[in-house]
Amino acid sequence: MRILRLALILVLVVAAVSCNRASPGSSDKPTVALVLKTLNHPFFVDMRRGAQDAADRLGVELQVQAAEREVDVEKQMQIVENLIQTGIEALAITPSGSREIVSALVKATDAKVPIVVVDTRVDAKAAADAGVHTETFVGSDNYEGGRLAGDYVVKTTGGKARVAILEGIPGHETGDSRLRGFRDAVGNVAGVTIVASQPANWERDQGFNVFQNMLQAHSDIDTVFACSDLMALGAIEAIAAARRTGTIRVIGFDALDDARKAIAVGTMEASVAQFPYEMGKVAVESAVKVLSGERLPPDIKVKLELVTKDNVTAR
């Protein structure tokens, strides 16, 4: 009997402890997840900072996760699925793959987790076919950013340039839109010729390697448009290695601190500035509005700005 009583007491104690144990991430605050492409890029570090500042101000518990590399779509999908299982109340995401991510977003929709898309759009047809509903898109107009860069090339060269383009990841909406915008801006200008256009997958080392090969094949290149600053910075290194610094203008996209420094010293001519801090802030604000029952517009635009030596400031 004594052993039986001790066993009963032990069961009751264990049960009481289990009942009082908080579940992971449990809080009176609403939980919003921010899933980024990567945290190994200053752009997304800034976005995280903006999101966290908004979460702190609004009393939101923010969970931020990302894959190691921007190209790792499968890892991002796994992160989304795992977060849904933890009971998040809203999801903000920068898709690594506009179409590929849809299968993970189906699970968010099924779990009634509202989705805010940031920076890179989800493929509209794939989402509609899968029954995925997103609350809003927060980001820059990447097509317009590409046009800004193209218009700048036309204006500063007098409509005469031999251009190389460093593309992002093929099939990714962000880079594809920037590329289309640039091509549309220069396409009807007879004196502007695109002599080479290849992906460098958003990476600095690939920007170096790809542009080095372009220069060897087309020594008359006088202008580079890179769909991101990391690729542009790689191109600048390739230009220096070829002892062509000062003879080839480089236009990037994102206006990262290193790009701004390059513009200030003259190794880069311009970059299209986005405002990732603002994107992160607005993404969390939008998620909170949705959780409070507010309807959002389908698009929330964040401004763009062309940075040149005339207006550059290192942040």
Chunked into runs of 10 residues, the chain (315 residues) has average pLDDT values of 41 37 56 96 94 97 94 94 96 94 96 96 95 96 97 97 95 90 97 98 96 97 97 98 97 95 97 96 98 96 95 74
* Any domain includes 248: yes
- Across the chain, the runs of DSSP E, i.e. the strands, are 31-38, 61-67, 90-93, 115-118, 136-139, 161-167, 192-199, 223-226, 249-254, 270-273, 299-301, 305-308
* Any domain includes 215: yes
Sheet containing 192-199: order of strands: 192-199, 161-167, 223-226, 249-254, 270-273, 305-308
State whether 233 and 189 are in the same domain.
yes
Report the pLDDT value the prediction gives residue 8, as an integer from 0 to 100: 39
* Any domain includes 259: yes
Report the pLDDT value the prediction gives residue 7, as an integer from 0 to 100: 43
State whether 227 and 201 are in the same domain.
yes
State whether 284 and 135 are in the same domain.
yes
Cα 106 from Cα 102, distance rounded (Å): 6
State whether 129 and 199 are in the same domain.
no
* Any domain includes 123: yes
Report the pLDDT value the prediction gives residue 314, as an integer from 0 to 100: 53
Cα 143 from Cα 200, distance rounded (Å): 19
Please name which of 189, 218, 184, 139 lies closest in space to residue 198, comparing C-alpha atoms: 218
* Any domain includes 15: no
Give the single-character DSSP code of 189: -
Sheet containing 299-301: order of strands: 61-67, 31-38, 90-93, 115-118, 136-139, 299-301
* Any domain includes 23: no
Report the pLDDT value the prediction gives residue 315, as an integer from 0 to 100: 54
Report the pLDDT value the prediction gives residue 11, as an integer from 0 to 100: 39
State whether 75 and 189 are in the same domain.
no
Cα 254 from Cα 225, distance rounded (Å): 12
State whether 178 and 213 are in the same domain.
yes
Report the pLDDT value the prediction gives residue 27, as an integer from 0 to 100: 56
Tokens standing for 59?
């009393």
Domain encompassing residue 186: 142-273
Contacts of 180 (CB under 8 A, 6+ apart): 143, 146
State whether 98 and 180 are in the same domain.
no
* Any domain includes 246: yes
Please name which of 157, 149, 163 lies closest in space to residue 270, comparing C-alpha atoms: 149
State whether 123 and 227 are in the same domain.
no
Number of domains in the chain: 2
Using a 10 angstrom Cβ sphere, with 0-12 exposed, 13-18 middle and 19 or more buried, the burial of residue 174 is buried
State whether 97 and 161 are in the same domain.
no
State whether 162 and 254 are in the same domain.
yes
Report the pLDDT value the prediction gives residue 24, as an integer from 0 to 100: 41
What is the CATH classification number for the domain harbouring 261?
3.40.50.2300
